Chains A and B, each alone.
Chain A
């Protein structure tokens, strides 16, 4: 086996490892965020209200379900098979994209709030949230080379 044969395989392995690493990092962040939200569900209601985008009637159901969407996504990204990871990646991307919109509108409207993304004990400013959100979104789309 010469080096020209092994180089593409090496690239594929590296790319796969990179993409898996990214999925595990994003999955871990989602699980961390969900667990912290579940420590105080009511505090998450307050955080959602602060963004002033959801009608009141949707706030409680959203607060109940969203942390579990994060848990399901996080678990899938870390341990599921490729097909389910792919679905979780799109779902997580939708969550991050929605959060980008929520944060940007809050910044434009000058709402004096923090994100509430990591529950009441880990406060993150809107600017920090926006940067983190974009980084996570980018991590989700590190392509896996097929060789």
Chain B
């Protein structure tokens, strides 16, 4: 049997095994996602029942105007500095997260938080929201992130995150 035929057989075995395993996997995903609303589609594909609740663009806008919540941006510093939700605190998920979570824990434990990252495709927002939920913060995840925030015409602030300055909330 020639190598290309063997490769095709290996791929066919993988396809069958993948579909069967996904069917019985407790966190299996839909084979064909409904991507008409990519933000929600991805959130529903990615998040489990124990994950932080979904906040859509309307909820994010309402939270911004009512100042009820602290926005936490999980993007890298350079991405954050190029534009973020006004007043958001930057906790780059891949940079010394634990130290920053400790600071947050001592300064903002009683605040409600909405976590986001660059857009619906980034995973740092979800990973950070999970970490925050684990240490018992009240947290939601704005899955559309900055991409959706910009698309809805909401204000954007540029520059670094104010260090050790908790965001004022009502």
Interface of A toward B, CB cutoff 8 Å: 38, 40-43, 45-47, 49-50, 52, 56-57, 59-61, 63-69, 71-73, 76, 83-84, 86-88, 90-91, 112-114, 116, 120, 123, 125
Beyond A38-B25, A86-B6, A112-B75, 19 additional pairs, beta carbon < 8 A? A41-B22, A41-B27, A41-B28, A57-B35, A59-B33, A60-B29, A61-B31, A61-B32, A64-B19, A64-B29, A67-B18, A68-B13, A72-B17, A87-B7, A90-B3, A113-B123, A114-B94, A114-B123, A120-B127
Question: Once the chains are docked, how many angstroms separate the CA of A66 from the CA of B15?
Answer: 8
B10 contacts chain A at the CB level, 8 A cutoff = yes
- CB contacts (< 8 Å) of B140 on chain A: these are none
Q: Which of A61, A64, A67, A114 has the most CB of B within 10 A?
A: A64
Q: Are B122 and A72 in contact (CB under 8 A)?
A: no
Does the CB pair B17–A68 fall under 8 Å? yes
Chain B residues near A72 (CB, 8 Å)? 10-11, 13-14, 17
**In the complex the two chains form, what is the Cα distance from A63 to B14 in whole Å?**
12
A/B interface sample: 6 pairs, CB < 8 A: A41-B29, A42-B48, A47-B123, A72-B13, A112-B118, A114-B94
Q: B121: CB under 8 A from chain A?
A: yes
Q: Is the interface of A mostly helix, strand, loop or mixed?
A: helix
Q: How far is the CB of A146 from chain B (nearest CB, A)?
A: 17
Q: Tell me how many residue pairs across A and B have CB atoms closer than 8 Å.
A: 116
* Interface hits, B87-136 → A, CB 8 Å: 94, 118, 120-124, 126-127
Partner of A56 from the list B1, B35, B48 (CB cut-off 8 Å) is B35
How many chain B residues touch the partner (CB < 8 A)? 42
Known contacts A45-B42, A83-B6; A65 and B94 CB within 8 A of each other: no
Q: Answer whether residue B152 sits at the interface, using C-beta atoms and an 8 A cutoff.
A: no
Chain B nearest CB from A15 CB (Å) reads: 21
Residues of A within 8 Å of B27, CB to CB, are 40-42
Alpha-carbon distance A112/B81, docked complex (angstroms):
13
B21: interface (CB < 8 Å): yes
Contact A69 B29 (CB under 8 A): no
8 Å CB contact of B11 from A69, A71, A113, A114: A69
Task: Point out the residues of chain A lying under 8 angstroms from B32, CB to CB.
Answer: 57, 60-61
| Minimal beta-carbon separation of B150 from chain A (angstroms) | 15
List chain A residues, Cβ under 8 A from B38. Answer: 56
B170 at the interface (CB under 8 A from A): no
Docked-complex contact A46 and B123, CB < 8 angstroms: yes
Q: Counting chain A CB atoms within 10 Å of each CB, which of B6, B21, B118, B126 scores highest?
A: B6
Contact: A65 with B15, CB < 8 Å? Answer: yes
A residues near B3, Cβ cutoff 8 Å? 83, 86-87, 90
Q: Are A43 and B31 in contact, CB atoms less than 8 angstroms apart?
A: no
Residues on B with C-beta less than 8 A from A38 are 21, 25
